[in-house]
Amino acid sequence: MKFPAGLPIGESWIETPSTAPVIFPYDGSTVAAAPVGTVDLAQQALANALSVRETVGRLSSYVRRNVLQSVHSAVLAARDDFIELLVLETGKPLVDCRVEIDRTLLTLETSAEEVARLHGETVPLDLLPSGEGLLGFWVRKPIGVVVGITGFNYPLLLAAHKIAPAFAAGCPIIIKPAPQTPLATLWLVDLMRSALLEAGAPESAVQLVTGGADVGATLTTNGRIGAVSFTGSAAVGHQIARDAAPTKVLLELGSNSALVVAEDADLDAAADAIIRGGYYASGQACISVQRVIAVESIRAALLEKLGARLPTVTVGDPRDPATRVSALIDPKSTARVRDWVEESVHAGATIAYASDGEVLGPTVLTDVPSGQLAWDEEIFGPVIAVRSVPDIDSALRTVNETRYGLQASVFTSSLDTAFSAIDRLEVGGVVINEVPGFRSDVMPYGGVKDSGIGREGPRFAIEELTTTRMAIIRPRP
């Protein structure tokens, strides 16, 4: 991790009035001192981004693709160092940080490729007599300055999801990482700005500002920006959407993802998926398994298989390759998850499995009543809630009985059940016989209802960050 001190604003790095420690969640040690931005610095970043908007929008496809390819090569060369840094600042297990860097590389690579596919098409204006003799076509134009705000759980990947498509579309971007995890994003931005400098493009095309809610509000409420892309909680996303209006807002919000197990499912495969999908990233993933909805006839067998697998989930130091669950991002988050579990038990739920220790280990709750936070809301921790229902029809209805709708999965041997789920589930993605957390960075990813609006994935994000411009020409005789 080598980059200048301060924040990358304008064509240089600006020293900040203060710094804050980045803490290794597992043992509380300090990883580094990170610069803390201010409202004044956010305003400077906005002014710089707006000043280069037209220049960035006119960069050739060659330059935009070449810059992204160069950054991909630089991140690949530093892959191991990025992984080490991600483990330290997020506290996520090593295995999950390896996945994060690989997905980041794919996002950069695919965004570079999509530059060549950013084009419009002709329109037959002569479908009406008034259009005879007219030539019509449309092209895509950059939406303008983009403000990207990311969460703490996948800081490098989420930053890449916003930076790479924005630049591919020809938009300057200001990225604001989560206060707990700014380091990997700072490094990525430094690599991006180095590639911009080498290409003769303005470094102001990519800037980064840290800070609190006041900094975020300054960035998102400026009426001259083109779009806000936010990843985080539903409550904050709603506030941003209200405050930013009428600016376009792309929101990737929360979830309480469901995994349905039908009576004809492969129970071993389902149990493996529940363990894998419920506890990766220590449960701090928006599409981790939270609600398991099993048909009553296979409930006992499924719980037995889960019970046999849970002791194999290694809890401990995230730097250990064997670890699958480690400390949550901070003690406050751990206390909140424990409180939600206790509240569920007081309301009638049962703890079917839990592990002792300072680190919150894999937990299974059964029969959590509706109205409890551990069922209704996003728990963002290594906790799974299992409920049984009479049949698959009831299971699909239960999946939809939530304000969220990001992704869901169904384990079944029946094509009828699979296609019924695809047709009926009110989510952005339906996954059959895999974890609901399955995500490829080339697919249109996003949710419905309170899980957000808009889609990520380079191709789809680029479309979100461009506008169509229609051209109508009447040639001279």
Alpha carbon distance 142, 215 (integer Å): 24
Of the listed 89, 203, 252, 456, which one is catalytic? 252
Rounded Cα gap, residues 106 and 157, in angstroms: 10
Identity at 26, one-letter amino acid code: Y
Active site residue 286: yes
Q: Are the beta carbons of 426 and 449 closer than 8 angstroms?
A: yes
Instruction: Say if residues 227 and 148 touch (Cβ distance below 8 Å).
Output: no
Secondary structure (H, E, C), 321-381? CCCCECCCCCHHHHHHHHHHHHHHHHCCCEEEECCCCCCCCCEEEECCCCCCHHHHCCCCC
Neighbours of 246 (CB within 10 A): 6
Direct distance between the N- and C-terminal alpha carbons of the chain, in angstroms, rounded to an integer:
63
Strand partners, 249: 228
Give the integer Cα–Cα distance in Å for 55 and 172. 9
Residue identified by tokens 């985080």 is 232
Catalytic residue chosen out of the listed positions 203, 286, 456, 464: 286
Across-strand partners of 231?
A: 252
Evaluated on CA atoms 364, 367, 372, 378, the torsion sign reads: positive
Tokens representing residue 257 in the block: 């993802």
Amino acid at position 119, single letter: H
In the numeric block, which tokens belong to residue 266? 């492969």
Our answer to whether residue 456 is catalytic in this structure is no
Residue reference for tokens 């965004």: 111
Catalytic residue annotation: 252, 286
